Amino acid sequence: METKVTAALTPAQRKVFRAIIQFMDQNHYPPTVREVADLAGNLSTSTVHAHLQKIREKGYIGFISTKPRALWINERSETAYEQYSANHI
């Protein structure tokens, strides 16, 4: 199934998405919500949950909400993020 990235991320969502990618690059497995919260600037877990929902709705990630490390980056969103990073960071 092909997932399409449908909208740009807000600055706060980009911060959460960047934290996920950095964690996965360093550890080779997905972070927990608490780990994302810490990496994204000591956010509350409920704030991270809200951002994750929006990021998933936009097609950047997928996750299974009942499992702590069942999160993945959709292939198209990783490419879109790399292009964004090259031009904006």
The whole-number pLDDT of residue 89 equals 47
The whole-number pLDDT of residue 1 equals 47
Domains of the chain, first to last = 11-88 (1.10.10.10)
Above 60 in pLDDT, residue 11?
yes
| Distance set, CA 19 to CA 1, 34, 52, 67 (Å) | 25, 11, 12, 19
Looking at the DSSP bridge assignments, the partners of residue 73 are 61
Q: What is the pLDDT of residues 14-62, one digit of tens each?
A: 999 999 999 998 999 999 999 999 999 999 999 999 999 999 999 999 9
